[in-house]
Every structure is written in C-alpha cells, then in structure tokens.
Amino acid sequence: MTITYKDNVDGVDWRQLKSILMEDDFDNGRSPEQLQASFANSYACSIAYDGEKIIGTARVLSDGICNAYIVDVWTYTPYRHQGIASQMMQDLMARLEGQHVYLFTEEEIVPFYEALGFHEQGIGLSTVVGKWLVANPRQSIRLRIGA
C-alpha cells in the first residue's frame, strides 16, 4: 500500500468521492458537483489516495491572514489509525502559519486533535441560512475569482 497526497483538486473523481463517503457513512448530502465546488472554493486541501482510490480528505477555509477553519477531515474506515489524517492535517497546518485555526469535531475524536496541538476553546454555535445546501451560484463564483 502506497498512500499519496495531493494538495489540489485536479483530476478528482467527484462521483467516486460521493460514493465512498456514502458507503463510509460520512456523507452530508452534497452532490458530486457540490463537493467539487466546496473543495474548489477552499483555501487549501489535502486528498489522500491509495492508487486511484480516494481514501481521505481535509480542507481549510481561510482569509489567508489570521483566521482558518478546518473541515471535511475524513479517512475511509479501513485506512484509519495509519497516520493518514495526521498527515493531511500537517499538510494543511503547514500552510496556515500565523493563523488562528479552529475546527468542530465529535467528542470521541478530541484526543486525535489534541495530539496535533489543538485545545478545546469556547462554545461553538451554528445556523443554516435559508435551505441547507442551496447556495446562490453567483456567491460561489464571486468567492473564487475575488469579485
């Protein structure tokens, strides 16, 4: 088994990713096209492969100056506990020098992130504006081209 990591979305098979996320019970309802837009609009990403098969993802949203938020950290279940998520996190963190990095996770995963230097902080709150996963396409385009 040779695991490789990519820091871009070139050549990603979004349908394969959607399928494996569903199989692994890590699907939040995004279509392959929405997954592609999510990753393309990210500040940085790390995608792990075993050959041509996607086995892990992590991405970061950031203003590039002081605030970053890590999302979509996932490793395909048969590949867990082999350092794949740790490597993806290290790859992302290396690109976030000087930034406050935040993430939200399940309680049972907290020790993993603490081992990477994270600590519990404050109370997180959330809301959904409008209907879940229905975005204005112009907003996505504007974000990508800096308009």
Domain that holds residue 79: 3-145
3-state secondary structure of 90: helix
3-state SS class at 48:
strand
Name the pLDDT band for 137 (thresholds 50, 70, 90): low
Q: Indicate which CATH number applies to the domain containing 126.
A: 3.40.630.30
Q: Strand 3-6's sheet: what is its strand order?
A: 3-6, 44-50, 53-62, 67-75, 100-103
Give yes or no for residue 36 having a pLDDT over 50.
Answer: yes
- Number of domains composing the chain: 1
> pLDDT, tens digit, for every residue of 46-105?
999 999 999 999 999 999 999 999 999 999 999 999 999 999 999 999 999 999 999 999
pLDDT at site 145:
45
User: Which of 58, 53, 15 lies closest to 35, judged by CA?
Assistant: 15
Band of pLDDT at residue 21, cut at 50, 70 and 90: very high
Mean pLDDT is lowest, of 17-21, 62-66, 71-75, 129-133, for 129-133
